[in-house]
Structure 1
Amino acid sequence: MPKVSVRNPRTGRNDYEVEAFSQPDVFDISYRLRQHQDDWHKYGIEERVIRLKRLATTLHRNLDSISAALELDTGRRRIARMEVEGVIASLETWTAQPNTAQEQAWTKGKSNPALKYRSQKVPYQLVGVISPWNFPLVLSMIDTIPALLAGCSVLIKPSEITPRFVSPLAEAVKEAGLSDILGFVTGDGETGKALINCVDAICFTGSVETGKKVALHAASRLIPAFLELGGKDPMIVLASSDIELSTDAALRGSVLSTGQACQSIERIYVAESIYEAFLQRLVQKAKTVRLNADDISTGELGPIIFEKQAKLLESHIRDAVDKGAAVLIGGEIRNIGGGLWMQPTVLSGVTHNMRVMTEETFGPILPVMKFSTTEEAIALANDSDFGLSASVFSGSLEESEAVGMELQAGAISLNDAALTSVFHEAEKTSFKDSGLGGSRMGLVSMERFLRSKALIANTGTPTPISAFSEEKL
């Protein structure tokens, strides 16, 4: 089986390999997972809950090995460990939820009392999950857990950029006794295509460009595609905002995980009356953010995981400067020991004719633009092809809420930023080019993986064909 080389983001060296699964390989694994799905479904949700609790236990037992693999792939230590802890917490939350997908009992019809009906919830037999490189574990499991709970088998294909976690995760899955209904394949885009050919529904997290290809491929097979794609999240800072609090939220929301998160703040709009004070304080705070280049156990910012992303960041900054923007801090990619790092980069004088304000950046860049009226701020925030999430900061919840109601995005953080990274209970869907399909958050997430079958019974006598005779007019 051919191999795919994996780059270490801290050293820049390819120091790991994974197998590149072919179409026949993926088919064989898919067939095995399908063979066991019916038994998994027939266990019932109560038994599935018990077995998924075992997975939480084995993940906890393998926490060190999984987080160590994530650390190598992403170049960050604390967030790697938080990923594993977050998935364990997610399993514990899901298995503590009431069954929201209970099948309906017989119900008497309203139009004809002789008819009654009930529903049956039927899971997709095999769900495919294609996950991205920025949060390898969390974004592999965010769709997997509710799909398993619904009674599906699941096949995961991680990004070839960050696949090391699969080996220790698969060991935890095996220890939990779930290998028959939860499998893994590794490889590049060709393996992803093979996966879509073998599943009954596909979940994809990644770029808009690739998401469109996934959607087209899924459409050719007439299977559903649940897509969470790119973002260009705006943050509106109204005149009543507290400068200290709003700059804290803006900085963390923009540069946490080196800005390599879909819900990162990528555009900041500040009321002109506080613009200079906000900008000055933001730059002061950005200066205190430390790289973890010399010691992974110190600092706040890890490396740029995907080296091609570094070139995109440079091109966005260059385009902005060429069109009149000023770099107040940062602005350069630094090669340290073969890895690529970037300080928080604050830009002023930005406009919407710059790529940094219209295209997804996925890095620690904070372009700040002033506005004169709330209506202008809303118009600027909505002037985007993306609609994943957004943030509003003001002196009161009521003022922030009023603005948030006008924004064209799936989740709005009020008086904070990027809250969907820590709060998964609220149902949301993506707007515009940021995605397709039902919410992956909230209790409704599981319902995406269940089809409704209607059983309709006649308690009277069947209608004869003579009832439709033309003479009856």
Structure 2
Amino acid sequence: MTSAATDAPRATPRSIPVRDPRTGLYDAAILAPTASALNNIAERARRAQPAWAGLGFEGRIAVLRRFTQALEARRGEIAAALEIDTGRRRVAGIEIDSIHGALAGAAAVAEPFQDADWRPGRASPHIQHAPQWLPYPLVGVISPWNFPLLLSMIDAMPALVAGCAVIVKPSEVTPRFAAPVMAAIADIPELEDVLIFAPGDGATGQTLVDLVDCICFTGSVATGRRVAIQAAGRLIPAFLELGGKDPLIVLEGADLDAAATAALRGCALSTGQACQSIERIYVARPVHDDFLARLVTLASAVRLNWPDITKGDIGPIIFERQADILRDQIDDARSRGARILTGGEIESHGGGCWLRPTVIADVDHDMAVMRDETFGPLLPIMAFDTEEEAVRLANDGEYGLSGAVFAADIEHAARVGRQVEAGAISLNDAALTTLFYEAGKQSFKASGLGPSRMGADGLGRFLRRKALIANTSAPLPLQAFSEDAR
């Protein structure tokens, strides 16, 4: 949802106001760097990168462990900033804890990329080859507003482990966390010049793409396309994680209580402000009404964390313009005959925008809520008659990030899940990619581009493989390829 604007930064720093989603007040501001300042940052990172790469995997991992300790020492400041940025407290703490996991995950898969052994050729054993793994010198990360710290570091951490220098451009919607994180970076001298946060807006991101050797972007499909085109013009890789419209299929025989529980969490966690949220639900007709009743009961009990942030289940809508998208999808569904069974109204509390989980029945694929990305706690439910129809409906759309299937057993769920065109399918649960990071996956269709940010590919995408090829025998003469050679 971060945008890369089409106009370049001006010659003087620009002040960008920042809104508190709980109060609706623009009570802070950041200064976006000029193009010249951003260029100086990139040159500084490039100068420092060779020494960083020279530490080797073990040396870099040791430094990054000290960095996670520095983050922990400033946990209170970082959590407070994230809390203001996003209007939620528990998830702010989870974001900080996730950095340990990101480092542990990259460290766990580093061994194959340290391989430098010589191997004899299969057809010509006298020719040997060995790999050399080289990091992209400078990686740019353009991160979104929904999980500001987590989605800044989910790409930055493996890139650093690989030996890259990294510049992070966090979203201008949720930038407060960057200051205490930069203070933690300053506590680690080896890291200060190779991990740099450059808060700014879309124009800052656009300039960053022209300064780096590899770009990672998380956000909307529309902006992702522009980033990809700009990167392609420079022949640099663009790793994109974009929008989603994740389907959940509930088959006859599934545990309906479990399915309803997972559907609600998969949709409404973090107020649905996650690209892998469940955004459309298909239920076998014989169990549709039963499932719907259970989901309505669960959704009706969800509490806003207002006025006390320490109580309740979901926080405010972070980005004010997202409230308009949610309102429009609800109004469109209602105008086309859908029934709104819970929620359904954008509420104003304390100046912020809020939406309770909204269960919508009698929907179809003519409605925006079943076609367009929602990024909020809407649960539209549609009945199906056959598994083939369920798969067809699940695959009917431009997105392919992830999905979910509930069935009487895992084997049945897996048979259906293998037919869904998406990068990760949760079986008898929903949105497991938010909880489990070891399984590599790629985005299908318009949901992204490039290798997985999870598993071994999450590290390997930042390394280029060079081949050293050695002939242990005499070189062949030109005459070996003469027309009359025998």
Q: Under TM normalisation by the shorter chain, which class is it?
A: over 0.9
Structure 1, unaligned runs of 5 or more: none
Cα distance in 1 for partners of 2:125, 2:382 equals 63
Which position in structure 2 is the counterpart of 1:156?
168
| Cα 1:192/1:457, change in 2 over 3 Å | same
Cα distance in 2 for partners of 1:300, 1:100 equals 42
Deviation at 1:241, TM superposition (A): 1.3
1:4 counterpart SS class? strand
Establish whether residue 2 from structure 1 lines up as the match of residue 14 from structure 2.
yes
Which position in structure 2 is the counterpart of 1:48?
60
2:451 counterpart SS class? coil
| Cα 1:455/1:97, change in 2 over 3 Å | closer
Which position in structure 1 is the counterpart of 2:4?
none
Which position in structure 1 is the counterpart of 2:210?
197
Deviation at 1:114, TM superposition (A): 3.0
Establish whether residue 85 from structure 1 lines up as the match of residue 97 from structure 2.
yes
Establish whether residue 71 from structure 1 lines up as the match of residue 79 from structure 2.
no
Give runs of aligned pairs for residues 9-20 of structure 1, distance below 5 A: 9-20=21-32
Cα distance in 2 for partners of 1:70, 1:429 equals 28
Q: Is the 8 A contact 2:109 2:455 kept in 1?
A: no
Cα distance in 1 for partners of 2:263, 2:122 equals 54
- CA deviation string 1:41-72 (max 9, x = no partner): 11111111111110111111111110110000
Match of 1:398 among 405, 408, 411: 411
Establish whether residue 129 from structure 1 lines up as the match of residue 144 from structure 2.
no
1:290 counterpart SS class? coil
Which position in structure 2 is the counterpart of 1:27?
39
| Cα 1:93/1:462, change in 2 over 3 Å | closer
Cα distance in 2 for partners of 1:466, 1:237 equals 69
Cα distance in 2 for partners of 1:286, 1:373 equals 27
Deviation at 1:107, TM superposition (A): 1.4
Give runs of aligned pairs for residues 48-447 of structure 1, distance below 5 A: 48-95=60-107, 97=109, 99-177=111-189, 178-447=191-460
Q: Is the 8 A contact 1:215 1:225 kept in 2?
A: yes
Cα distance in 1 for partners of 2:387, 2:479 equals 68
The two structures, once aligned, show a CA RMSD in angstroms of: 1.2
Tell me the amino acid that sits aligned with residue 147 of structure 1: A
Q: Is the 8 A contact 2:57 2:110 kept in 1?
A: no
- TM-score, normalised by the number of residues in structure 1: 0.98
1:187 counterpart SS class? coil
Tell me the amino acid that sits aligned with residue 101 of structure 2: A
Cα distance in 2 for partners of 1:153, 1:369 equals 47
Deviation at 1:259, TM superposition (A): 0.4
Q: Is the 8 A contact 2:71 2:184 kept in 1?
A: yes
Using the TM superposition, name which of 65-74 and 102-111 deviates more: 102-111
Q: Is the 8 A contact 1:59 1:88 kept in 2?
A: no
Cα distance in 1 for partners of 2:438, 2:303 equals 32
Q: Is the 8 A contact 1:236 1:270 kept in 2?
A: yes
Tell me the amino acid that sits aligned with residue 91 of structure 2: I
Q: Is the 8 A contact 2:249 2:281 kept in 1?
A: yes
Q: Is the 8 A contact 1:53 1:95 kept in 2?
A: no
Cα distance in 2 for partners of 1:94, 1:220 equals 30
Q: Is the 8 A contact 1:387 1:409 kept in 2?
A: yes
1:440 counterpart SS class? coil
Cα distance in 2 for partners of 1:298, 1:369 equals 33
Q: Is the 8 A contact 1:56 1:92 kept in 2?
A: no
Using the TM superposition, name which of 99-108 and 225-234 deviates more: 99-108
Cα distance in 1 for partners of 2:386, 2:106 equals 43
Cα distance in 2 for partners of 1:344, 1:443 equals 36
Q: In percent, how many aligned pairs have the same letter?
A: 53
Deviation at 1:431, TM superposition (A): 0.5
Cα distance in 2 for partners of 1:442, 1:466 equals 49
Using the TM superposition, name which of 395-404 and 93-102 deviates more: 93-102
Q: Is the 8 A contact 1:22 1:194 kept in 2?
A: no
- CA deviation string 1:280-323 (max 9, x = no partner): 11111111101112111111110100011011111111111111
1:198 counterpart SS class? coil
- CA deviation string 1:195-240 (max 9, x = no partner): 1111000000000000000000000110000000000000001111
Deviation at 1:336, TM superposition (A): 1.3
1:132 counterpart SS class? coil
Extract structure 1 runs of 4+ deviating beyond 4 A: none
Tell me the amino acid that sits aligned with residue 100 of structure 1: P
